[in-house]
């Protein structure tokens, strides 16, 4: 009996220790507000919309210490519409991956994951600026003929920096940070019998980050079934960075997007920054220029973005944001369309003005 009691106590202690070395965290982002659009299909519109400054997300993130500086990690993340409570896509359609993290060797994960156009050129490049960059600040315009599938329009988040699409069936490696330098690569399996590369994807990223600046680069190629039967797709690459200026940050970005089948291409340039105006108040400004090639009738767009954010607590803030886009080109297809707004303009101009609230948990 004493032996049984001792064994039970040892088992209980081991279970407690194992539980202490592992954790699961429930987290989420909530954003809701009212947006006024100057032109939606020829009409003014005022809408309640959600998931603009940040997408509405919920997720489960977990880690287990395996010893020797190695951890098992996972993330399951879904997206939903705040106004109705309805899911957007599958339950964990935003992210779903599991892997191993080593202090010395880096991180290896597998599942449905962000590529490096988002992780390097948005999350790492922007760093402390990221919370103040609205989805309306990112790329969309008069480029429907780009031919990007699986999107509300052919140019929705065309350079992938908004993270609107992930790479499914993918294996991803991220190196540890060595003196500020890190790099990574990923491959998305097409799962097509007899055609290994068909409908596949691959992505690479490199980042050099210090306390006062960051230099970041990324490349992603995704082959879609709708483009040349899965043998061609959309290729993206870009380079950018940020630097500390006074009490704030300035940032720059260049991206190139190319349909490898039709030859349609877009060059995008952005310069912006964030600055703390006073206690709890941050101003974010950006200007971007997007230019399509002759396949896209040389369509182009200028856009100016502004966000004024006031922090109520560590997890809650209110904000005002505005975006203005002017589009033009050689043909009659250059209609403005600000990303994540309710619809395109019927002309070359569109303005979005928004008041919203955001909460993290």
Determine the average pLDDT of the residues in 16-36: 84
Burial class (CB in 10 A: 0-12, 13-18, 19+), 263: exposed
Mean pLDDT taken over the chain: 93
Determine the average pLDDT of the residues in 228-237: 98
Name the token pair of 100: 């191993």
Query: Is the model's pLDDT at 11 over the cut of 80?
Result: no
Query: Is the model's pLDDT at 5 over the cut of 80?
Result: no
Determine the average pLDDT of the residues in 75-101: 96
Cα–Cα distances (Å) from 24 to 15, 28, 62, 114, in that order, read 16, 13, 4, 21
What does the H/E/C string look like for the chain? CHHHHHHHHHHHHHHHHHHHCEEEEEEEEEEEEEEEEEEECCEEEEEEEECCCCCCEEEEEEEEEEECCEEEEEEEEEEECCCCCCEECCCCCCEEEEEEEECCCEEEEEEEECCHHHHHHHHHHHHHHHHHCCHHHCCCCCCHHHCCCCCCCCCCCCCCCCCCCCEEEEEEEECCCECCEEEEEEEECCCCCCCCCCCCEEEEEEEEECCCEEEEEEEEEEECCCCHHHCCEEEEEEEEEEEEECCEEEEEEEEEEEECCCCCEEEEEEEEEEEEEECCEEEEEEEEEEEECHHHCCCEEEEEEEEEEEECCCCEEEEEEEEEEEEECCCCCCCCCCCCCCCCCCCCEEEEEEEEEEEEC
Strands 213-223 and 201-209, by their bridges, are: antiparallel
* β-pair partners for 171: 110, 187
pLDDT (0 to 100) of residue 333: 82
Query: Is the model's pLDDT at 79 over the cut of 80?
Result: yes
pLDDT in tens, 60-69: 999 999 999 9
Query: Is the model's pLDDT at 272 over the cut of 80?
Result: yes
Share of the chain above pLDDT 70, in %: 94
Are 230 and 223 within 8 A, CB to CB? yes
Determine the average pLDDT of the residues in 210-236: 98
Determine the average pLDDT of the residues in 107-116: 98
pLDDT (0 to 100) of residue 14: 41
Query: Is the model's pLDDT at 274 over the cut of 90?
Result: yes
Determine the average pLDDT of the residues in 173-179: 98
pLDDT in tens, 332-351: 889 999 999 989 999 999 99
Strands 213-223 and 265-278, by their bridges, are: unpaired
pLDDT (0 to 100) of residue 151: 79
pLDDT in tens, 130-168: 999 999 999 999 999 999 998 778 899 999 999 999 999
Higher pLDDT: 352 or 17? It is 352
Share of the chain above pLDDT 90, in %: 91
CA distance 22 to 24: 7
**The CATH number of 33-54+114-360 is which of 3.40.640.10, 3.30.70.360, 3.40.50.150, 2.40.160.10?**
2.40.160.10
pLDDT (0 to 100) of residue 1: 40
pLDDT (0 to 100) of residue 109: 98
pLDDT in tens, 289-308: 999 999 999 999 999 999 99
pLDDT (0 to 100) of residue 296: 97
């Amino acid at each position: 009996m004493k032996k049984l009691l001792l064994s039970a106590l040892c088992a209980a202690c081991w279970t407690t220790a194992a539980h202490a070395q592992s954790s699961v965290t429930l987290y989420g982002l909530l954003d809701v507000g009212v947006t006024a659009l100057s032109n939606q299909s020829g009409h003014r519109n005022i809408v309640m919309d959600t998931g603009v400054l940040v997408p509405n997300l919920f997720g489960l993130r977990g880690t287990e210490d395996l010893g020797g500086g190695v951890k098992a990690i996972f993330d399951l993340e879904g997206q939903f519409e705040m106004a109705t409570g309805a899911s957007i896509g599958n339950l964990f359609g935003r992210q779903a991956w599991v892997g191993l993290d080593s202090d010395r060797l880096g991180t290896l994960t597998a599942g449905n994951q962000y590529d490096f156009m988002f992780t390097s050129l948005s999350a790492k490049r922007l760093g402390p600026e990221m919370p103040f960059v609205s989805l309306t600040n990112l790329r969309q315009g008069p480029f429907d003929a780009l031919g990007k599938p699986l999107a509300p329009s052919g140019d929705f988040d065309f350079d992938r920096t908004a993270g609107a699409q992930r790479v499914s069936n993918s294996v991803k490696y991220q190196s540890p940070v060595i003196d500020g330098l890190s790099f990574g690569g990923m491959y998305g399996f097409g799962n097509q019998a007899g055609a290994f590369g068909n409908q596949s994807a691959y992505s690479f990223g490199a980042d050099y980050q210090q306390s006062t600046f960051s230099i970041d680069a990324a490349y992603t190629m995704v082959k879609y079934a709708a483009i040349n039967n899965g043998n061609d797709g959309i290729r993206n690459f870009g380079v950018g960075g940020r630097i500390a200026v006074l009490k704030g940050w300035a940032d720059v970005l260049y991206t190139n997007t190319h349909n490898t089948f039709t030859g349609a291409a877009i060059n995008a340039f952005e310069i912006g920054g964030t600055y703390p105006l006073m206690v709890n108040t941050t101003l974010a400004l950006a200007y971007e220029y997007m230019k399509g090639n002759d396949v896209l009738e040389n369509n182009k767009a200028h856009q100016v973005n502004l966000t004024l954010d006031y922090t109520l607590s560590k997890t809650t803030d209110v904000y005002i944001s505005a975006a203005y886009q002017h589009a033009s080109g050689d043909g009659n297809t250059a209609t403005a369309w600000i990303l994540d707004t309710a619809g395109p303009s019927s002309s070359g101009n569109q303005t979005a003005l928004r008041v919203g609230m955001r909460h993290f948990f």
